[in-house]
Structure 1
Amino acid sequence: GQEWTGWHKLEKSLWADAKIGDDEKKLADRLVADLKDWQKKIPEAEITATSMANGAKELLDEVATGKVTGEEDRYSHTDLADFAANVEGAEKAYELLKPVAAEKDADLAKTLDSEFAAIQTLLAKYKQADGSYTSYDKVTDTERKTFSDAVNSLGEPLSKLAAAVVVK
């Protein structure tokens, strides 16, 4: 019963309806304005090691709950690109925290290195020559299960990163 707005409305308009009208243009303008507002707030954000570690885990959780299922980009089927971006963001946060994590919990750091490498290897199998990814509607249920297992395998040790980097 609520008005449907946001990126997914535009995604549906582009991919399913193949039309962009005045309503979609207004929505796009609103989204750009919202983005500019967020960009102004970034310098004020307080970023700590714990918030970075928790953010990395949240990025991976988002993959597990929305992207692996195919629900996130149900019209464009660009789920693997979003999946890869979330993994890349989580990995970048980990890389920034790795010196502390490796010092405090070397085994965790080794596990995270291995799990990130494994998920990147899996994603690479679906990367096309032009840099895009295989359309997610072409990914079989068995392959989706492999992705889900890889996300879960990384998620468990990643959940321990915040504790490993907390400043005492």
Structure 2
Amino acid sequence: VLLAVFFLFCVSILSLAGPYLTKIAIDDHISVSNLDGLDQIAIIYIIVLGVAFICQFFQTYLMQYIGQKVMYDLRTQTFAHMHRMSFKFFDRNPIGKLITRVVNDVEVLNEMLTSGLILVFSDLFILTGVFCMMLYLDWGMTLVVCLIFPLLYFATKAYRIRARD
């Protein structure tokens, strides 16, 4: 799990490198008509994309593996639990309904574990990285942007209330 989180962190950091390299290319080379070094930035950008792809692959592979292992254990425990149930339980509950419920619930847990949870943490890492990068590049502009967030929150909340009515 720690290795998968490490790859997730690497993917998040590398996703921030692309826009930063583009900023350097535009500010330091294209806008001042100095194309020396632009090819190096392009090569670095391609390397960053390649490393990000490899990290994404291993992160996805590991999370799918972990998810399948957890689901296997859950299915095994559920199967063992069903074997311990009394015959009276099976007389009261239709078998088809029980099987459908177990299969669907385990599949929903699998999706949540392998996809939903990863997206939440990935987006959280990226958002934190973007905020840190904004502070590094221009802390004054970052504070101005942060002042807008409460306004957006209240505007969204007001719109949601009116949209429901």
TM-score after normalising by structure 2: 0.28
Higher-helix-fraction structure: 2
Larger Rg: 2
